[in-house]
Structure 1
Amino acid sequence: MPLAACGSGHTAGTINFYTNADSAEIARTASAACNKDAAGKYTVKVHVLPKAADDQRLQLARRLAGNDSGVDLMGLDVVWTAEFANAGWVEPVPDELSAKVQQTTLVGPLASAMWKTDDDLEKRLYAVPAWSNTQLLWYRPDVMQKYLGTTVAPTTWDKMLADTEKIREAGGPSWIMAQGAQYEGLMVWFNSVLVSAGGSVVDPDDASRQTLNDTPEHRAATLKTLQILKSVATAPGHDPSITNSDETAARLGMESGKAAFAINWPFVFASMRSNAAAGDVPFFKEMTAFADLVSGSPSDSELREVNDLVRTRFNFAPYPGVAEGVPAKSTIGGVNIGVASTSEQAGLAFEAAECLTTPASQKIYAINGGNPPVLKSLYDDQDFRAAYPMGDIIGEQLSAGRAATRPASPVYQSISTLVTATLSPVGGWDPESMVDKLADQVQKAIDGKGLIP
């Protein structure tokens, strides 16, 4: 959908909400409910940004740099907070609303919306978290039982690799699906393993410093991370297309029956359920008996019954760790809603943002759109629990000590671009020498000497 030119102006009472294409329909559904509740005080109008995240960011940046007063609300990728706050493009959340959000929101999503500019005394909230996401380990319990004599999922990458090799030697499916293509998915994979290993890309308290090799401990964490990525990408019987694999390819690898394990977002569970019911999953033909139920509007109890069946062939577990007994940290995704600094009706825009992030709105995003909520309270909601049998794990991984955010930096896009370019093709390098090469690229991005996307 083409966007109007910058400087298009605004209409009093109309709150223009720019959001990504994938979430446009659920944004419209939530906005319609908010407009009804507003009783004429304001009307939220949804505008669709491009599908690709880089294009979304560019569209918004051009509008904001052009002082477009027609932008009121923005669906911000969780990695944009620092850049938009430093540029003065997004309004800080008012204290009263900020306090409420901080009391009710899970720690991981909350951290993604906070930043400290040079003018701030301390970190503050620059957007209101709307929904979040976290990757899980997906696995075939039937395959594990047949070849390993257990259905207990591995808790570390090393154990997963060992299990997969045993399955391969016995003639079973041997792929481990991950996002190895040169794009943001590879950055998410690298960051999750790195933070789980005790490392980080930049200093969380000083975004001007890279921390991949600045201490012996950080170097060891980076090296272990690279060794894991290389092992997955080059293991005997690995996915031959892993260097081009994204979330969809990883999903299809599991549904085709060629993989025993996969790292992916929660959307794959509903996909397995519906595709198996349609007869498109070769190892799960018994699901076709539930085709009408799955394509209809099952009750919560019916959905739970079907989900239990799905889990006999396709189950989930927490994100794999690096060291035995040390829980992993999984990189979060999601969207935060910010009020544009160019808006001439910021007060109304914040009222709309608050409505668009209520429990009712977040249930729309979760159940209709497949985007897990950020509110702690919703993880006990019965409708949510019926739709998300993996909800407890998601909630845990979005909590303190388990959620990993991507490097908080105003030049995050450059960091990500250079890291993924340096790591590609994934596994086609020596981990020892790659540590310093990666560190050098990240520092170049920080210093403004790297590739600017």
Structure 2
Amino acid sequence: MAPHPRRRPTRRARALAIGATLALTAGLLAACGGSSGKPTLTWYINPDPSAPSGFKGAFGQAGIAARCSTKDYTVKVQQLPGDATQQRIQLARRLAAKDSGIDLMSLDPVFTGEFANAGFLAPIPDQLAEQLKSTTLSGAVDGATWNGKLVVAPLWANTQLLWYRKSFAQKAGLDMTKPVTWDQIIKAASDNGGTVGVQANKYEGYVVWINALIEGAGGSIIQDASKGSDAKVTIDSNAGRDAATVIKELADSHAAEGDLSVSNEGTVLGPFATSKGAFIVNWTFIYSNYKDDKATLADLGWTRYPETVAGTPSKPPLGGINIGINKNSSHVDDATAAAQCITSADNQVTYAVETGNMPASKAAYDSADLKKAYPSDLLQAFSSSIDAAGPRPVTPYWSDISSAIQSTWHSPKSVGSSTPQKSADFITDVLKGRKLL
């Protein structure tokens, strides 16, 4: 839904407008380069991990681009900044300027609603959309859908598991074959000299944790996301207070790592590989991260994301990358064909083996190559976690909502029973233009 015409321009609108003229000029220049002969499709990608030593050929998304180039067109990649927020800003500015120099783009699921609502994305043909929906894990489909339509093509899907040291769980007397709660692992770590690693810096990763806690308690941050700034803010709920209880319990416990308030996906890796390592929640890359550390790998266990409320199945985080097609591309048909190739099951498998970023395709998990690279029970844990995931709301206003949550829930030490209400009030004020971030 578009903002009310009498409302002041939103922070997002102002951000998209900045630099539009420069972006348009850049796009016109880029378009001129492919005006004759075999077209070149430019695919803007998020950075991949570094290729391992001795790897030959194009790696990651660059490898996919090479494999998806045909006699009719060439696909080349252009790397975006490493930070997801900066990726969004760069793409949004250029797309707002109707830049035809972007043909394809790798999009974080949380930006799907914003880009679709703004009219930046070319529609996915109905036949292809139905094919993708039927062959893709349901959690990934949810993250690629806006207003009931699939608007981007899932390339890979990320989720978080609870990773643990098997020796520590045994010492603490936890049966990890059964669902465990946040309360259980925090107490087990506190009572046995261990730590619980999370992402609690003032950034998007912290909101990922908060959303998973709320979803796992049966709640949501907002409802009716398609209503845009008129969405119903529902973070002030029993589920919101359950989430705050978990965060407060960890922050006040001996299980909290010393850098809790600045922790992220990377900072938790070192402590986990020490004698105090007990539990971490983190993305699928963890297994490949420790594969050269034989001692840690031998003691590495995994299970489904912890329950917020005992007896209520958890809703693990969902991440990943979807492929969007620029509505103003000069080669929409070619870009659509390329997107279908890019997101094929074969390319998803190769990409997963190379980078550790797991497929969104159902069939990919039956691949012999993937089973050779990962234990079968781990692949099952990944796919079932993606299917059961609780995605962050797909809304054009996610950037504002996320920033408002970060402002009111950080630091973890400050979180209490009143935090959900304070954040609900602030989110509402930001969406209605009454307060600025």
**Mapped contact 1:29–1:364 kept (Cα < 8 A):** no
- The aligned counterpart of 2:8 is none
1:257 alignment partner AA? S
The residue number in structure 1 matching 2:13 is none
1:386 aligned to 372, 376, 398, which one? 372
Does residue 111 in structure 1 map to residue 129 in structure 2? Answer: no
The 5 Å alignment of 1:432-443 reads: 432-443=417-428
Alignment of 1:1-400 (within 5 A): 5-10=26-31, 11-12=34-35, 13-22=39-48, 25-35=59-69, 38=70, 40-116=71-147, 123-148=148-173, 152=177, 155-168=180-193, 174-204=194-224, 206-207=227-228, 208-212=230-234, 219-274=237-292, 276-277=293-294, 284=295, 310=297, 312-389=298-375, 390-399=378-387
Note if contact 1:137-1:317 (Cα within 8 Å) is conserved in structure 2. yes
Q: Which region of structure 1 is more displaced relative to structure 2, 60-69 or 73-82? A: 60-69
Q: Which amino acid is 2:85 matched to?
A: D
Contact 2:195–2:254 (Cα < 8 Å) also in 1: no
Shift of 1:51: 1.0
The alignment's TM-score, normalised by the length of structure 2, stands at: 0.86
Q: What secondary structure does 1:442 align onto? A: helix
How has the CA–CA distance of structure 1 residues 23 and 347 changed in structure 2, closer, same or farther, with 3 Å as cutoff? farther
Task: Tell whether 2:389 aligns with 1:403.
Answer: yes
- The Cα shift of 1:211 comes to 3.6
Q: How many residues align?
A: 397
Distance verdict in 2 for CA 1:86–1:23, change over 3 Å: farther
Query: Tell me, which stretches of 5 or more residues in structure 2 are unaligned?
Result: 1-22, 51-58
Deviations 1:87-123 (A, max 9, x none): 111112111111111110111111111112xxxxxx2
> Aligned partners of 1:154, 1:345: CA distance in 2, in Å?
49
C-alpha RMSD of matched pairs (Å): 2.0
Counterpart contact for 1:15–1:43, Cα < 8 Å? yes
The 8 Å contact of residues 48 and 61 in structure 2, kept in 1 or not, is answered as no
Equivalent position SS for 2:317: strand
Aligned to 2:17: none
Structure 1 residue 328, shift from structure 2 partner: 0.6
Are 2:27 and 2:102, in contact at CA under 8 Å, matched by a contact in 1? Answer: no
**What fraction of aligned residue pairs are identical, expressed as a percent?**
33
Provide the C-alpha distance between the structure 2 equivalents of 1:46 and 1:246, rounded to a whole number of angstroms.
28
Q: 1:120: which partner in 2? A: none
SS of the residue corresponding to residue 237 of structure 2 reads: helix
Instruction: Identify which of 444, 447, 450 aligns with 2:429.
Output: 444
Between 16-25 and 62-71, the greater mean CA deviation after superposition: 16-25
8 Å contact kept, 2:197–2:268 = yes
One-letter code of the match for 2:64?
Answer: A
Query: How many angstroms apart in 2 are the aligned matches of 1:386 and 1:253?
Result: 29
Instruction: Give secondary structure in 1 for the equivalent of 2:251.
Output: helix
Q: What's the CA shift string for 1:389-429, capped at 9, x where partnerless?
A: 21101111111xx1111012101011111111211111323
Deviation at 1:23, TM superposition (A): 6.2
Shift of 1:444: 2.5
Mark the runs of 5 or more structure 1 residues left unpaired by the alignment.
117-122, 169-173, 278-283, 288-309
Decide whether the 8 Å contact of 1:7 with 1:66 is kept in 2.
no
Please list the CA deviations of residues 199-230 of structure 1 after superposition, one character each: whole Å capped at 9, or x if unmatched.
101104544234435xxxx6111101100011
TM-score (structure 1 length as normaliser): 0.83
Distance 2:355 2:433 in 1: 37
> 1:21 is paired with a residue of what secondary structure?
coil
Partner Cα separation in structure 2 for residue 150 and residue 196 of structure 1: 21
Q: Secondary structure at the match of 2:187?
A: helix
Q: Deviations along 1:148-194, whole A, 9 cap, x unmatched?
A: 376657611111122223313xxxxx211000100111000000010
